[in-house]
């Protein structure tokens, strides 16, 4: 009976440790999501602004907006792919 009690206590300790680990992982996942989100948005802004700096005044405003939209969409697709790839490789 004493061994059974000791085993239950060990299982309880393991469960508590696992709960702390899950909370810790969740905390880091949220930080990671925040970092990826902020850096992704900042880079999209820089991509759009760089297109404006290159073609602003050389083409009409409508063409400039189309070029900015195309470049930002391509950059967003590339960022999503790279973030997805990083997350998949980190978890394997």
Give per-residue pLDDT as tens, 12-71: 666 666 566 555 556 666 777 788 888 889 999 999 999 999 998 899 999 999 999 999
For 23, the enclosing helix (H) or strand (E) is: helix 2-55
Cα Rg, the chain, nearest whole Å: 24
pTM of the model: 0.63
Residue 68 domain boundaries: 2-91
Long-range pairs, 63-72, Cβ under 8 A, ≥24: 71/47, 72/44, 72/47, 72/48
79 pLDDT above the threshold of 80? yes
The CA distance from 22 to 26, in Å, is 6
Q: Per the structure, how many domains does the chain have? A: 1
Contacts of 75 (CB under 8 A, 6+ apart): 43, 44, 47
């Amino acid at each position: 009976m004493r061994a059974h009690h000791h085993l239950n206590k060990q299982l309880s300790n393991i469960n508590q440790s696992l709960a702390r680990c899950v909370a810790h992982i969740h905390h880091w996942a949220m930080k990671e999501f925040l970092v990826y989100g902020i850096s992704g948005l900042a880079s999209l802004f820089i991509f759009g602004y760089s297109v404006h700096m290159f073609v602003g005044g050389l083409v009409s405003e409508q063409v400039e907006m189309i070029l900015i939209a195309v470049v930002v969409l391509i950059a967003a697709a590339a960022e999503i792919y790279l973030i997805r790839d990083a997350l998949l490789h980190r978890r394997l």
